[in-house]
Amino acid sequence: MCAPNDEIIVVGGYTNTELLAHTPAPCDDPARCGVHVLRQCGVTGRLTHLSTNAIGPNVAFIVRSPTNPSILYASTERIDDEGEIITLRMTPDFRLVEETRIKAGGRSTCYLNFNASREWMMAVNYWDARVSMFKLGKDGRPDIEAGRDPRWVLQQPGADYVDRVKPTREEHWKFRQRWPHSHCCVTEPYAGLVHFVVDLGLDKVFTYRVNSKTGVLVPKGSTRLPPGKGPRHLVFHPTVRSAYLVNELDSTVSVFKVNIPEEWTTPHHWDAGASREDGCEEPGAVLELTQCLSSLPESEQGKTTISPQGIWKAASHSSEIRMHPNGRYFAVGNRGHDSIALYAVDQSDGTIALVDIVKSGGECPRNFNWTCGGKFLVVGNQNTNCMATMSFDEASGALKIVHEAGAGVTSPNYVYAIPARELPSLISSADGFGGALPAIAA
């Protein structure tokens, strides 16, 4: 039987691929499309399907409220209209129930984050490079009195191309960097006050502070990357002042020394410090480049292929980057090579070394997450509708597939993990949840 240290895995899934900027395999069975809830055995890593919930279209990011543990937020991706932010709760039978749905202030909403005071939610919209700010109530839900439209919206320079020209997704397939594409907003963990917005289309990382009174993003500069990298996601080391940026278009990882001016981390001083634009190699830059390594084997680097749409492109594109809870390793996904690259982090200076590259157990590992305190890595393989569990040996850095299953999942695109011990705060006792999971066979 499984031990009590199980994990609940919530998996986003695409439901209507015609609305997307990219071209994943279509969902061929509507009954299996939506947001999936799985249970992972904390001993074996085995995944068991609990529910599939018809929530969409195209839920692509999931996060728990930082102030109300009974709430999950999900965002939707579509390029024909604004994306949406959905408030969800989980029932005792592990189904997801929609509570509220609001427009996200931009198209293809791919990332959600919160400011230090937890009063504001930041929604990142890929298609039109807008970052929207939403006021949250004391219960963690969007503030009804403040209205459900975003209080404030920032759009990156040049992204008005979407409004003026109305490009098609076919144009996007051919020209990935013709206009800006904001991909994530990540907060540094040292003071929790400086936010970094990564833009794939501009090859830039923008730096902001948030005015907690107004929700306005105060620009503090930007970091330029070499052309053609297509930065996607950013993570920070929890203690060493270093950051790691996965670059989608050339399948590399950029390593930065983090130099945040002291005055930028002073609470309530929104405009403290001069705004500046730094080259990524400039000494003393906010993000100072120290390393750049490929996420692919040498034999695979630089390869190209022709897509089903007849477009020449790189044979593989990097996807997610996830820091291990111990800060000594992180993982990067490769879509096309269909693998996970594992890196070791030097705890003295934050530099990295490639440990291994292992197959992901399916095609197009778009997203994954560490589970059970870092004991396992759960991978969502988008194009083969399957999940894979890898065991992880912290001493050697070895990743090994221990369980593969469709697990009732279609087009997995985001993997969010919740420790089973936190279920009493996630599922209300008023709904009849007694605080324990039934035993299941390993």
Q: Of the ranges 80-84, 271-275, 425-429, which one carries the lowest mean pLDDT score? A: 271-275
More confident call, 342 vs 141: 342
Q: Output the domain CATH number for residue 385.
A: 2.130.10.10
Q: Domain containing 366: what range?
A: 7-431
Q: Which of 58, 63, 57, 9 is nearest to 36 (CA)?
A: 9
> What whole-number distance in Å separates Cα of residue 97 and Cα of residue 72?
10
Arithmetic mean of pLDDT, 163-182: 97
Q: Does residue 440 lie within any of the structural domains?
A: no
What pLDDT score does 263 carry? 87
With bands split at pLDDT 50, 70 and 90, how would you rate the model's confidence at 257?
very high
Name the pLDDT band for 407 (thresholds 50, 70, 90).
low
Residue 332 maps to a domain: yes
Please say if the pLDDT value at position 92 is more than 60. yes
Q: Tell me, what DSSP letter sits at residue 171?
A: H
Q: Examine residue 365 and state whether it is found in any structural domain, yes or no.
A: yes
User: Which residues lie below 8 Å from residue 288, measured CB to CB, with a gap of 6+?
Assistant: 256, 257, 258, 259, 278, 280, 281, 282
Q: Pull the structure tokens for residue 338.
A: 């269909």
Q: Tell me if 269 is assigned to some domain.
A: yes
Summarize the confidence of residues 235-240 as an average pLDDT.
Answer: 98
Q: Mean pLDDT throughout 50-69?
A: 96
Start-to-end C-alpha separation, the chain: 5
Is residue 429 pLDDT above 90, yes or no? no
- Residue 437 is assigned to a structural domain of this protein: no
pLDDT score recorded for residue 252: 99
Q: Does any domain span residue 441? A: no
| Mean pLDDT on 153-171 | 97
In a domain, 55, yes or no: yes
Number of domains within the chain? 1
Question: Is residue 1 predicted with pLDDT exceeding 50?
Answer: no
Quick one: the chain helix, strand, coil %, rounded to 5?
10, 45, 45
Q: Give alpha helix (H) positions in 19-100.
A: none
CB 366 within 8 A of CB 411: no
The pLDDT value recorded for residue 2 is 46
pLDDT digits (tens, 9 = 90+) for 351-394: 999 999 999 999 999 999 999 999 999 999 999 999 999 999 99
Residue 77 in domain = yes
pLDDT at 405 over 90: no
Length of the chain: 442
Rounded (5°) CA angle 3-9-15? 155
Report the chain's mean pLDDT, rounded to a whole number. Answer: 92
Q: What's 38's DSSP letter? A: E
Classify the phi-psi angles of 302: left when phi > 0, otherwise alpha if psi is within -120 to 50, otherwise beta.
left
pLDDT in tens, 344-360: 999 999 999 999 999 99
